[in-house]
Amino acid sequence: MIERIILIVLDSVGIGYLPDADKYNDLESNTLGNIAAQIPNLKLKNLSKLGLGNIDGIKGFKYDSTALGCYGKALEQSPGKDTTTGHWEIGGIILDKPFPTFPNGFPEVLISNINNKIGVNTIGNEVASGTEIINRLGDEHVKTGYPIIYTSADSVLQIAAHEEIIPTDRLYEICKICREILIDEFAVGRVIARPFIGSSRSYTRTHNRKDFSLKPIANTFLDIISSRNMNVMAVGKIEDIFAGRGITEAVHTKNNLEGIEKTMEYMQKSSKGLIFTNLVDFDMLYGHRNDVHGYANALVEFDNGLAQIINEMKESDMLIITADHGCDPTTESTDHSREYIPIIAYGHSLKSNINIGTRNTFADIGATVLDFLGMPIEISGASFKSLIYKGDK
């Protein structure tokens, strides 16, 4: 029987635009497929062994009749294409309206309120790339001490500050204050601290990013698992995305390699429940910067680490690999894209080469996790356990 599930989100590794992608200007997006088209020698041998190339409609990877895993894809029911929406839907929450976005910057009344609450003026307040805005406004920030506020196509308010001007603890405090202010029509999905270092024209962001998310509006599979005295071990920014709810232990990471290492460290513990990992480099370092080769290299890096994860698995473990949205580095846009997400499942107790088809919602993943752990499916979503499980011996 399955006693523990390792759920890994490859942040932004979408596999093709959704039927409603025209509403989001994403009709050309296919993150994984378009990367494979531009990098024709891209080989993801371990993902392919599990069935990556067998997913309906996948581009760039060959079908394997001896695939060891189960595979499929899912479409998103919630409106939007951001991190919080995608992860919450995986966890069983389907939103009926998107988180608010601010394509023209935030209203002055809100900025004035923020300035009053944090006790200092701010600069920026525009839609911008994080790396671009710190190099453009970094000198003014260093001179004045004013934090830089900016946003993107996603539902975020980001605050950048030089670590020598505003220490990270103070920046986090400012973000917490903003999180409390951003309610009702201003309730963005995340407030993100973006510390940076360096000097004029060569500022660089550090690994001390921290996300301050809205608290989930309903119970997720994490709440259900932890309430029944099982472990929910979060790796990467999972703890931030769910505002700590339903999580029993967490570790934050600096990059994908550390995320893989910390996942395996949790796997080496004798535990039952869920290990939930987010690997953010695909999105943060490469998708948003339209770095096709960097993205491809990160995929190969994960694929190599996947072999180690598989070797670490116990008889009672199950592995699920998925994503939360797309972020196609081959398109002109540097924003997230509205895409299908892959679902790949593997374990000693699972069948081989099983196509679970196209799932109607990301929430089917959360429902399946609960089903395998013997817990009530008190969330949105339908389990696909019956399709892939060999059964108890």
**Tens of pLDDT along 144-179?**
999 999 998 889 999 999 999 999 999 999 999 999
Q: Closest Cα to residue 44, out of 354, 303, 366, 347?
A: 303
Residues 265-316: pLDDT tens digits? 999 997 899 999 999 999 999 999 999 999 999 999 999 999 999 999 999 9
Token duo for residue 15: 């596999």
DSSP alpha helix (H) spans, the chain: 31-38, 45-50, 83-90, 108-118, 130-144, 168-181, 221-227, 238-241, 256-267, 281, 292-312, 363-372, 385-388
C-alpha torsion angle, residues 85, 86, 89, 91 (rounded to 10)? -110
The ranges assigned to domains in the chain are 4-98+217-388, 108-213
* Pairing mode of beta strands 273-279, 231-235: parallel
Residue 130 confidence (pLDDT): 85
Question: pLDDT confidence of 234, banded at 50, 70, 90?
Answer: very high
Report the distance separating Cα 34 and Cα 39, nearest Å. Answer: 9
Measure the N-to-C terminal CA separation of the chain; round to a whole number of Å.
8
Angle formed at CA 86 by CA 14 and CA 369, multiple of 5 degrees: 95
Q: What is the largest CA-CA distance in the chain?
A: 68
Return the pLDDT at 131: 87
* Amino acid found at 116: N
- Write down the pTM of the prediction: 0.93
Spatial neighbors of 37 by CB under 8 A, at least 6 apart, are: 59, 60, 330
Q: How far apart are CA 180 and CA 138, in angstroms?
A: 26
What homologous superfamily does CATH list for 4-98+217-388? Alkaline Phosphatase, subunit A (3.40.720.10)
- CA–CA dist 53, 69 (Å, integer): 11
| Fold for the domain defined by 108-213 | Alpha-Beta Plaits (3.30.70)
Phi, psi of 203 (to 5 degrees): -75, 140
The pLDDT of residue 392: 67
pLDDT number for residue 295: 98
Q: pLDDT digit string (tens) for 71-124? A: 999 999 999 999 999 999 999 999 999 999 999 999 999 999 999 999 999 999
Which of residues 250 and 1 earns the better pLDDT score? 250
DSSP state of 250: E
